[in-house]
């Protein structure tokens, strides 16, 4: 998917690299992808959103919003995932997990 000007011109306020999962291959490996049902596809189309084109692979798939903490050995230490994009845990919990990992 092409980057919007906002993504490329906005300063990077984070001290870590932000990654993009174009085509959802990483989300797929973690089981965090779903295909939009036909009724939602119709709504997207009415709003002029061509997800299949935007995905670049012709699919109507979206990743489930998730936050994973993976340690340096590749072990998943925490997962926050919910198909309902309106429900998100507080970032403070993730920060706490990261701080604990840093101390250990």
In terms of residue numbers, what domain contains 34? 17-64
What pLDDT score does 9 carry? Answer: 52
Same domain, 52 and 87: no
Are residues 60 and 74 both part of a single domain? no
**d(Cα 99, Cα 104) in Å, to the nearest integer?**
9
Residues 58 and 72 in one domain: no
- Using CA atoms, how far apart are residues 19 and 22, in angstroms rounded to an integer? 9
Provide the pLDDT for residue 12.
Answer: 62
SS3 32: coil
What is residue 11's predicted lDDT score, i.e. its pLDDT?
A: 62
Same-domain check for residues 44 and 73: no
Task: Give the pLDDT score at 60.
Answer: 94
In a domain, 75, yes or no: yes
Please tell me the predicted confidence (pLDDT) of residue 54: 84
The pLDDT assigned to 40 comes to 92
The CA distance from 104 to 72, in Å, is: 12
Contacts 24+ apart (CB under 8 A), 47-54: 54/1
Residue 2 within any structural domain of the chain = no
pLDDT at 42: 94
Strand pairing partners for 78? 69
Tens place of pLDDT per residue across the chain (104 aa): 444 444 445 566 777 777 778 888 989 999 999 999 999 999 999 999 998 888 888 899 999 999 999 888 989 999 999 988 888 888 898 999 999 988 88
Domain count, the chain: 2
Q: Measured between alpha carbons, how far is residue 22 from residues 25, 67, 77, 104 in Å?
A: 7, 17, 24, 34
């Amino acid at each position: 998917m092409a980057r919007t000007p906002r993504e490329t011109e906005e300063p990077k306020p984070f001290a870590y690299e932000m990654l993009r999962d174009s085509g959802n291959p990483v989300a797929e490996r973690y089981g965090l992808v779903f295909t939009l049902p036909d009724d939602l596809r119709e709504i997207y189309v009415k709003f002029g959103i061509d997800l299949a084109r935007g995905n670049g692979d012709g699919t109507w798939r979206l990743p489930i919003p998730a936050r994973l903490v993976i340690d340096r050995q590749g072990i998943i230490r925490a997962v926050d995932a919910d198909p309902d994009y309106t429900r998100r845990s507080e970032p403070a919990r993730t920060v706490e997990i990261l701080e604990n990992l840093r101390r250990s």
